[in-house]
Amino acid sequence: MGAVGDVDTVLRDLIPRVVGVLVRRHGYFEECEDAAQDALVDATVQWRRDGVPANPLGWLLTVASRRMADRARSEAARRTREEAVAALAPADAWAAHGPEDQPPADHDDSLTLLFLCCHPSLSPSSQLALTLRACGGLTTAQVAQAFFVPEATMAQRISRAKRRIKEAGALFELPPPEEQASRLAVVLHVLYLIFNEGYTRTSGTDLHDVELTTEAIRLTRALREALPDDPEVTGLLALMLLTDARRPARTDADGNLVPLAEQDRTRWVQGAVKEGTAHITEALAKEQPIGSYRLQAAIAAVHAEAPGADETDWRQIVILYQLLEQVAPNPMVRLNHAVAAAMADGPLVGLRLLRSLDDDPRIAEHHRLHAVRGHLLEMAGDLDAAGACYREAARRTASLPERRYLESREAALDERDR
């Protein structure tokens, strides 16, 4: 046995490889992923107690293969299929393979597995859940906790997703070249959503879920290793690093939210800023038409290079948001564009941009529209209207840190009004 080390990190690096080896060896993605999950749970307990084994991949493959063999023997309903498979497969196909039976060192099925988990037949919520479990090495309980649903509910969601993949006839292979661009866009979007949910929780008592942001960055790094020449993959990694670098400064000692303009930028993680800046510089130099992740990363880089909010090049950010609205128009982009415009040209300009969102059903009821309008009204000196917006935003959010912050903004306005 080796040193205990970081058991969770080792497992998350290896679980996609375990699933890939099992699927290539036996087929049946659903059964293979379940067996890998069983091995993950066993390893979490045993490795934390005894230390990481000298050959962790071999250990996981052995345990997972044994679990598959046990299930194949015990389920009478699968007997016919087992016999058919046995007639076609090598005699030792269902045997527990030893630690020496490993895939080539340079073979990694992580990219194939990401494409499979983000199959277009699945709903976005199922893509998120399956990616975190099969590619990320999170247990069903951890995935359920991340999305604030009961474990049984998440288990059903994951099982339905795997059945849907089977019904769709999806194969464990990379999509054909003509489909890769559209399928990669889905993979990037899923990783982006995982990161965003970890960076600002949509509900609950904590602002961050570090486990989710860390996992999103890890998976995006793996994707970039597989596709080093794709500028949008590099752009997404840069965006995550530059954004996550701010995390230590986003809350105070009591866990209260600190807005960007008030953050102590010396607390930003400079290593992440440096790496993210290098990645976006590289990605912007590519000749391919620019995409949304590179533009968002470029905006984050402008923030990162400014010593403070007052020294930020807001006009450059406005131009980047104008480009982003052309490339990927959506209400959240317009919302952020309005803030940048207010900083560059005054709050009335930003408020005019917000009016276009009042009838957009995607955001009209969202707390952030009310929060941003309150901020811009406060900048404009309309304190009563700003307070009402903060109050409405606080009522609508399910995030306790955001609610406390919005209530504190309203209370501060009341103090100013006295």
Question: How far is the C-alpha of 129 from the C-alpha of 126, rounded, in Å?
Answer: 5
Model pLDDT, residue 387: 97
Those residues whose C-beta lies under 8 Å from the C-beta of residue 268, and which sit 6 or more positions away, are: 245, 246, 248, 249, 304
Of 232, 233, 259, the C-alpha closest to 246 is 259
Interval 192-213 mean pLDDT: 91
Question: How far is the C-alpha of 31 from the C-alpha of 82, rounded, in Å?
Answer: 13
Residue 287 main-chain phi, psi, to 5 deg? -85, -10
Q: Which residues pair with 398 in a beta bridge?
A: 203
Handedness of CA 53, 58, 61, 63 (dihedral sign): negative
- Pick the more confident residue, 1 or 417: 417
Confidence of residue 97 (pLDDT cuts 50, 70, 90): very low
pTM: 0.85
Residue 412 near residue 378 (C-beta atoms within 8 A): no
Interval 31-48 mean pLDDT: 92
On the question of pLDDT at 74 being above 90, the answer is: no
On the question of pLDDT at 414 being above 90, the answer is: no
% residues pLDDT > 90 (the chain): 69
In this structure, of 37-41, 67-71, 313-317, 390-394, the range with the lowest mean pLDDT score is 67-71
Residue 155 near residue 140 (C-beta atoms within 8 A): yes
Of 174, 186, 139, the C-alpha closest to 158 is 139
On the question of pLDDT at 168 being above 70, the answer is: yes
On the question of pLDDT at 72 being above 90, the answer is: no
Locate all alpha helices (DSSP H) within 75-176, ordered by sequence. Answer: 79-88, 110-117, 124-130, 140-146, 151-167
CA dist 270 → 220, 247, 296 (Å):
20, 12, 19
| DSSP codes, 184-232 | HHHHHHHHHHHHHHHHS-SEES-S--HHHHHHHHHHHHHHHHH-TT-HH
Q: pLDDT tens digit string along 285-317?
A: 998 899 999 999 999 999 999 999 999 999 999
Model pLDDT, residue 25: 86
Confidence of residue 89 (pLDDT cuts 50, 70, 90): very low
